[in-house]
Amino acid sequence: MATNLISLVMQSLTPDLISRIASAFGLDASATQKVASAAVPALLGGFTQVAGTPDGARKLYDAVSQQSPGILDSLTNVLGGSGQKTLEQNGLNLVSSLFGGSNTQTLASTISRFAGVDPGASSSLLGLLAPVVTGALATQANAGNLDASGLARMLSSQKSSIQAALPAGFGDLLKGSGLLGDIAGVAGQTTRAASAAAQSTTYAAQQAARATTSTASSMNWAYWVIPAALVLAAGWWMFGHRATPLVREQAGTETQQPASSETTASVPTGNMAASATQALTVLKGVPGGTEIADQTTSALDKLSSTLNGIKDAATAQTALPQLQDAHTQLDKVGGLAAQLPTAGRGALATIVAASMPTINKHLDQILAIPGVAAVLQQPVDALRSNLETLAKAPA
């Protein structure tokens, strides 16, 4: 099996290394991890685009060939020292030589907005991460005795993995630049779908109360639409939209093609959906409630997009940083929720509880994939614990 480049790079960026990088830039580890989660697939996507022409493939090959195989050791040794700036600048020069100065600035500023870090820090981190990515390419090129065209073919074969690793919405932010080429295509389509869903949320809420599923697949994200369209994220809709459509039955009937108990067990009922809608109104009506709703939206949107990309042990390893980030966001939600009045905490619990059956079912299916539990069992357990805590009504 071909090596997953995203997984290879992200595995090298260990939590300890991320913490050291964060310390060197005066950032917290979660923000630094967020930068890496966007920068690594963006760099690989950009390199893939560059290698799409013979001249570009040669330029990339030359840059990769000059990369030191001991880049991680160099990075560890220079962090916080005088050599750090040189490494950053060399990395930025490399990226600029391949992407062009304007595209490099666009990438750095987009990462800055996405991760919520200072533009200067974003640019420096991009320069620091670039040689890590090219170092991974050098390792694979040497191992496979690849020439320029071989390197281009290897990158082209990784398009789906790179696309899956792009954080939700990030590829669309870069789409106008042309930096990622067709790798950004799906991101653009899903963002437009989310926008359309947001405009029709009221209709979706009315339909959701009457909707049941019939032939949807066992991992159909449309099940999440019912609480999501009513409550938290129009962005969740994109995953249901790509899955098998719901088969609706008229309210009060029981004779449409019956779904198995396994399929329907996790579908929120009309009462749950109505309760979630009412709870959202209550939550947004208390001080701090809107911020809580936004934080929860962000965390669960990240969780849904991350789980949707897990197909095997390799993609599970790639997803690990994103799952940890979702866990961190839910921790923040819990901290903010503690400051809410009782009515607000109860409303939040109702909203989260409405989504729990489907989330748990999908987590179970993910863990059942061979090799995935060994990678994700601990973070999944932590996520479930967080969600269960949020779903508990206040005493």
Q: Choose between 43 and 319: higher pLDDT.
A: 43
In the predicted structure, residue 214 carries a pLDDT above the cut 60? no
- Give domain status of residue 178, yes or no: no
Distance from C-alpha of 381 to C-alpha of 383, rounded to nearest angstrom: 5
- Same domain, residue pair 151 and 196: no
- Choosing from 137, 155, 173, the residue where a domain stops is 155
Cβ proximity of 248 and 211 under 8 Å: yes
In the predicted structure, residue 23 carries a pLDDT above the cut 80? yes
- Choosing from 155, 180, 202, the residue where a domain stops is 155
- Same domain, residue pair 278 and 134: no
- Same domain, residue pair 23 and 107: yes
- Same domain, residue pair 252 and 204: yes
- Same domain, residue pair 203 and 145: no
Distance from C-alpha of 172 to C-alpha of 185, rounded to nearest angstrom: 8
- Same domain, residue pair 149 and 207: no
Handedness of CA 348, 359, 7, 242 (dihedral sign): negative
In the predicted structure, residue 208 carries a pLDDT above the cut 60? no
Tokens for 339? 């400051």
- Same domain, residue pair 135 and 224: no
Tokens for 271? 């009462």
- Give domain status of residue 162, yes or no: no
- Give domain status of residue 368, yes or no: yes
Q: What is the mean pLDDT of residues 310-318?
A: 86
Cβ proximity of 310 and 379 under 8 Å: no
Tokens for 66? 């000059």
In the predicted structure, residue 219 carries a pLDDT above the cut 90? no
- Same domain, residue pair 22 and 81: yes
Cβ proximity of 235 and 189 under 8 Å: no
Q: Where are the beta strands (DSSP E) in the chain?
A: none
Residue 249, domain extent: 189-391
pLDDT-derived band at 42, boundaries 50, 70, 90: very high
Which of 46-50, 191-195, 328-332, 349-353 has the highest mean predicted lDDT (pLDDT)? 46-50
Cβ proximity of 176 and 170 under 8 Å: no
Res 4: pLDDT = 80
Q: How many domains does the chain have?
A: 2
- Give domain status of residue 173, yes or no: no
pLDDT tens-digit series, residues 103-146: 899 899 999 988 899 999 999 999 999 999 999 999 889 888 99
